[in-house]
Structure 1
Amino acid sequence: MARFKENDLPKSKITLSALQKATLIFQYSGKHRWKFYVGLLFLLLTGGTALAFPKLMGLLVDCVKNKDNAQANFIALILVGILFMQSIFSFFRLSLFVNFTENTLANLRLALYSNLVKLPMSFFSQKRVGELNSRISSDISQIQDTLTSTIAEFLRQFILIVGGIALLATESFKLTLLMLSVVPLVAVAAVIFGRFIRGYSKKVQDKVAESQVIVEETMQGISIVKAFANEWYEIARYKTQIKEVIQIAIKGGKYRGYFASFIIFCLFGAIVAVVWYGVQLSISGEMSVGQLISFVLYSTFVGASFGGIAELYAQIQKAIGATERVFELLDETPEKIEGTSTHQSIEKIKGNVSFKNVAFQYPSRKEMKVLKDVSFTAQFGQKIAIVGPSGAGKSTIASLLLRFYSIAEGSIEIDHKNISDYDLEQLRGNMSIVPQDVILFGGTIRENIAYGKPNATEEEILAAAQQANAYNFIESFPEKLDTLVGERGVKLSGGQRQRIAIARALLKNPSILILDEATSSLDSESEKLVQEALEILMEGRTSIIIAHRLSTIRSADQILVLDKGVIAEQGTHQELIALDNGIYKNLSNLQFSNS
């Protein structure tokens, strides 16, 4: 897959409303805003001193005609002084803009991340992680470059164009008219042509990236390639892509040749034309040689600025587009989370759960009801198992209990109180989930267990590990609790990850426990250890067990059989087995006959 490049960032039209939206970024500058304004002052001083340079160079050259050595020394000293001042102004301009930008963007990043983390699950179900990552990385980087240098450079080029043209007119009005009719047009044409060339370079890069995908896929699936004896097929596929790369690259090379010819002839031709006409005016006595030198330098400033300002304008357009996309995320409404840093203040709930005529459809699939008129009750300390075929709505019940989504009809109550009346942190702070696909964070085992209770002591962490049957394998590692688990826990086996997740849940000591097919992907030995740990975990709390393997739920107080979003059957294992031609009985016969 072609990697995301900064050049691919979409641009936004620079309108008054877009500019107003972009200036909202200053809200995040806080006490650092003054640095931006002082930086602008130094920018003006940098531009002003730069404009004085060509004029003084012309006066210095004219000292040859006047044979005025003292005057030459004086002007040379002023030029050195101007260079010294420019160095100081540039240093403060850059350091102030960087300081302002880094502090502002740190606040913006924090605000964006804080808002993202607090957004509801319905938002994440409709957005790709890569897209959200791009907001925090590519879009913020684009804003960073713009605030640090692009705006300053754009304003500096603008000052040089306006000031340069004004000072050109004071040197020679006739020559200024010639320069304005030739040099800016050639400079702008060079920019447009240059952008076209870069477009071709990008096509080559994209084609190379496409060919690289073939290499990656082949290497990753080399066993399949060899098993099917398809080496020649893959070579032919790669060869086709390489031929396309060659064709586009050669065509791009021709355009680069045209571009080089254009630059040599037109741009330098325009400078020759201006100098030639200036020499004619000097010969006729309308301007001095020093004035001609000043004019040529000013022309170079103006031409270069015309060429550069178009690219800078495009960068500013990208930055405005990036700012709009960042603020779109900041405008998303987060969940109401109180934000306490510890779990100490969370009030305990008992754990009586009641679903009353619950109906639900996902926001992204509103036409399809996942649950229809679901009602059941789980008393404190009971084990309620939910079984059924894939897509029946089992995991949806867990999501609704955690209030990841709002229900369309009916109500869910905990301890005879509607879950929407609970503070989210209190509600979720009293629940733990052990999922089928355990997600661990890329730190140590200690950090992952303590995620259930960030202020837990060493003794509490070790006690949770022992109860979860995780202590023995943790002790077998050289670093013990300080063992790094790797990204998403890849350095641990499935059973080890599952037991870490159980230890995490135990440490949290929830009132309501949700087990989402917690043993379905484990081998027999791991399943036995995990099942033992789960039995300890389920003691003294309400447990909602979403099960795939029916052998794990025989002792459940109540089993709900979900089918097509409705509870088709309900009862204990013995009651459901007794139902003739029942769904549970058929599932049970199917599983146990295969085992």
Structure 2
Amino acid sequence: MRHASETSFRPRHAGWRRVRPVSAQPIEQAAIDAAAVAPDATSPGARRRLGALRALGPYLRRYRGRMTLAFVLLCTSSGAFLAVPLAFRGLIDHGFVAGQSISGHFLALFGIAVLWGMASAARFYQVSWIGERVTADLRSAVYRRMLEQSPQYFETTRTGEVLSRLTGDTTLVQTVVGSSMSMGLRSFFQLFGGLVMLAVTSAKLFALTLLLLIVVVVPMVWAGRRVRRLSRESQDRIADSSAVAGEVLNAIPTVQAYTNEPYESGRFDSAVERSFGSAIRRARMRAFLTAGVIVGVFGSIVFVLWLGAQAVSGGMMTAGTLASFIMYAAITAGGFGTIAEVWGDVMRAAGATERLMELLHAEPQIAPPAAPQILPASRQARLDFERVDFRYPSRPQHAALDGLTLSIREGETVALVGPSGAGKTTVFQLLQRFYDVGGGSIRFNGVDLRELDPRALRAQIGLVPQEPVVFSADARENIRYGRRDASDADVLAAARTALADEFIARLPQGYETFVGERGTRLSGGQRQRIAIARAILKNPPLLLLDEATSALDAESEALVQRGLEAAMQGRTTLVIAHRLATVQRADRIVVLEDGRIVEIGTPAELARSGGLYARLASLQLVG
């Protein structure tokens, strides 16, 4: 499997962190996060990425009832939270007056806490459910869309990128929908409500606090931008070192065979040192930012509190008013810091959504026609290639097939031979309609392939590839992959026909034996016989054999060849083979070169003709 490019597509989830509750987030940390993240808020790129979040609308609207309930709970919990300072104000100003009972004030505080806790817990459950559900829906939708894409799509899209988007990017979306967005709204209510209550509590102290914070924050914005640039640089350097390590570890036999371990170790050490230097520069600037924020923010708060204390001493303000002002200031600062941190999550999720929508909106290159024709029922296939031209989209300057004309009768076995690049595999790709012809036509039982639903066409074709795919399941399920509704008896019959039963029966748990990822617990010949059994179980009119024995030893080849002969009985078969000894029983051999048919005939006829087939046969005999 190919991996995503470290530079063009790197999973963004490595650096995200979950937003902490306001009560656990120090004011100075909130200000640091605000300075480091906030400058991105007004950039054109940020506005463009935020627009991508609108694509989540259809997925969210499915659960509008839960979203409405979550919003009501959010308003309830935020209102209860903002009522806490007022309750403390009343407790301080009136609860400790001689002759008055304080029990009612404490009961009020407890009641607020109960309401706050219950509403917060219910809100958390609702938004978490919505986040997980939307993410699951989105992940399934993207995966279904990818299954519809033809091989042409994956010529330009790395499978590693797709997998990264399915995992890392959907995780970012889940984080925002399931927690960050809700926390951002809650923090916005707290910030807005806190500012209003600060102004109501003491307009003079509020104005002075706002002025001092502006003076402190402006220089911190510059430092925050520097921290952000250094963070990106540090992540790039880490990615560089990871890329070096991944490349070398995947090629460790070659590295050791050429005794280049010291060289590769030094190359990795250099990448690590560059990453270390970048991280230290980021840490130095972050330390400067931390010191500036702590001194500036706390200096401002202490100064404002000193003025408030003077007002209390002079009788111009009550102690309860000052206490509630302090609490509202803490709520406001915490809300501001959380919004700044959430904003970073939102921006990353917006970029992730944009990448997911690229996959979701990718139109399949091969799509069924509006009114597909129905293939006539037949036990065998007839194929007609009429002046077929084709060029791969990734290589438009090279003709893979050039004017190919060929007719294959029902029940006939035809072998395609020729040098590499002659067009043999292209014929198979076009027959399965992984690509459409560029010129001419291919007819299956008289129907043009372009007039058929690709799934209906492929249901009529069985494939035994050169490198058979064996899934991480047991032997029975791997064979049943050819026809999902097959009974155990059908699976057993197909395995016996393909001569797979003899080795499956010797496995530790027989047909229930787990064969390992990609069939690693089986030999090459055993995997090939599993693939043959799968094709036999499908029982298609057309069988395609793509170099089915080329990578096997003589003993395994003999067993597989017997299985193939059983699979070929009663159906039209096309065979690709480089080893000409495997196609001697073919009814006809078609010799291809540079996308054209240069010879056609029986094996004996071609051997006598002295053409390309005869030369290839003589070279193999000499070898």
| Secondary structure of residue in 2 paired with 1:365 | coil
Q: Which deviates the most, 289-298 or 194-203?
A: 194-203
Matches within 5 A, 1:530-569: 530-569=560-599
Which letter does structure 2 place at the counterpart of 1:586?
R
Paired residues of 1:559 and 1:571 also in contact (CA < 8 A):
yes
* Alignment-derived partner of residue 455 in structure 2: 425
Deviation per residue, 1:86-119 (Å, 9 max, x gap): 0111011111112223333333333222222122
Deviation per residue, 1:21-56 (Å, 9 max, x gap): 634434335763201111011101111111111122
CA displacement at 1:184 relative to structure 2: 6.0
Which letter does structure 2 place at the counterpart of 1:51?
L
CA displacement at 1:526 relative to structure 2: 0.9
* Alignment-derived partner of residue 180 in structure 2: 150
Paired residues of 1:346 and 1:429 also in contact (CA < 8 A):
no
* Alignment-derived partner of residue 257 in structure 1: 287
* Alignment-derived partner of residue 64 in structure 2: 33
* Alignment-derived partner of residue 500 in structure 2: 470
Distance change in 2, residues 1:149/1:196 (3 Å): farther
- Following the alignment from structure 2 to structure 1, what is the Cα–Cα distance between the partners of residues 267 and 354? 41
TM-score by length of 2: 0.87
- Following the alignment from structure 2 to structure 1, what is the Cα–Cα distance between the partners of residues 206 and 223? 25
* Alignment-derived partner of residue 342 in structure 1: none
Deviation per residue, 1:474-496 (Å, 9 max, x gap): 11111111111211112211111
TM-score by length of 1: 0.90
Q: Is 2:577 the partner of 1:570?
A: no
- Following the alignment from structure 1 to structure 2, what is the Cα–Cα distance between the partners of residues 423 and 218? 44
Q: Is 2:56 the partner of 1:49?
A: no
Distance change in 2, residues 1:494/1:40 (3 Å): same
Cα RMSD after superposing both structures: 2.9
- Following the alignment from structure 1 to structure 2, what is the Cα–Cα distance between the partners of residues 443 and 309? 47
Q: Which deviates the most, 6-15 or 324-333?
A: 6-15
**Number of aligned pairs?**
585
Which letter does structure 1 place at the counterpart of 2:428?
A
Paired residues of 1:62 and 1:288 also in contact (CA < 8 A):
yes
Matches within 5 A, 1:432-447: 432-447=462-477
Distance change in 2, residues 1:30/1:298 (3 Å): closer
Distance change in 2, residues 1:122/1:196 (3 Å): same
1:494 pairs, out of 515, 521, 524, with 524
* Alignment-derived partner of residue 278 in structure 2: 248
| Secondary structure of residue in 1 paired with 2:394 | helix
Which letter does structure 2 place at the counterpart of 1:108?
L
Distance change in 2, residues 1:80/1:65 (3 Å): closer
| Secondary structure of residue in 2 paired with 1:520 | coil
Deviation per residue, 1:347-394 (Å, 9 max, x gap): 545301010000011223333321110111110111111111112211
1:97 pairs, out of 127, 139, 157, with 127
Deviation per residue, 1:273-292 (Å, 9 max, x gap): 22122223333433222111
1:283 pairs, out of 287, 296, 313, with 313
- Following the alignment from structure 1 to structure 2, what is the Cα–Cα distance between the partners of residues 185 and 365? 61
| Secondary structure of residue in 1 paired with 2:152 | helix
Paired residues of 1:151 and 1:316 also in contact (CA < 8 A):
yes
Paired residues of 1:171 and 1:287 also in contact (CA < 8 A):
no
Which letter does structure 1 place at the counterpart of 2:318?
S
1:127 pairs, out of 157, 178, 185, with 157
- Following the alignment from structure 1 to structure 2, what is the Cα–Cα distance between the partners of residues 130 and 68? 74
Distance change in 2, residues 1:261/1:484 (3 Å): same
CA displacement at 1:137 relative to structure 2: 1.3
Q: Is 2:308 the partner of 1:301?
A: no
* Alignment-derived partner of residue 11 in structure 2: 4
Paired residues of 2:422 and 2:595 also in contact (CA < 8 A):
yes
Paired residues of 2:50 and 2:347 also in contact (CA < 8 A):
no
| Secondary structure of residue in 2 paired with 1:485 | coil
| Secondary structure of residue in 2 paired with 1:351 | coil
Q: Is 2:414 the partner of 1:384?
A: yes
* Alignment-derived partner of residue 63 in structure 1: 94
- Following the alignment from structure 1 to structure 2, what is the Cα–Cα distance between the partners of residues 14 and 74? 50
Paired residues of 1:359 and 1:409 also in contact (CA < 8 A):
yes
| Secondary structure of residue in 2 paired with 1:560 | strand
* Alignment-derived partner of residue 53 in structure 2: 22
Distance change in 2, residues 1:22/1:544 (3 Å): same
Which letter does structure 2 place at the counterpart of 1:422?
L
2:619 pairs, out of 585, 590, 594, with 590
- Following the alignment from structure 1 to structure 2, what is the Cα–Cα distance between the partners of residues 235 and 25? 46
Paired residues of 1:495 and 1:526 also in contact (CA < 8 A):
yes
Q: Is 2:387 the partner of 1:357?
A: yes
Paired residues of 2:135 and 2:171 also in contact (CA < 8 A):
no
Segments of 5+ residues of structure 1 without an aligned counterpart are 339-344
Which letter does structure 2 place at the counterpart of 1:152?
S
- Following the alignment from structure 1 to structure 2, what is the Cα–Cα distance between the partners of residues 262 and 249? 20
Segments of 5+ residues of structure 2 without an aligned counterpart are 17-39, 370-374
- Following the alignment from structure 1 to structure 2, what is the Cα–Cα distance between the partners of residues 110 and 63? 59
Distance change in 2, residues 1:208/1:114 (3 Å): closer
Distance change in 2, residues 1:559/1:222 (3 Å): closer
Distance change in 2, residues 1:249/1:104 (3 Å): closer
Paired residues of 1:356 and 1:375 also in contact (CA < 8 A):
yes
| Secondary structure of residue in 1 paired with 2:205 | helix
Distance change in 2, residues 1:235/1:7 (3 Å): closer
Which letter does structure 2 place at the counterpart of 1:588?
A
Matches within 5 A, 1:156-175: 156-175=186-205
- Following the alignment from structure 1 to structure 2, what is the Cα–Cα distance between the partners of residues 373 and 588? 26
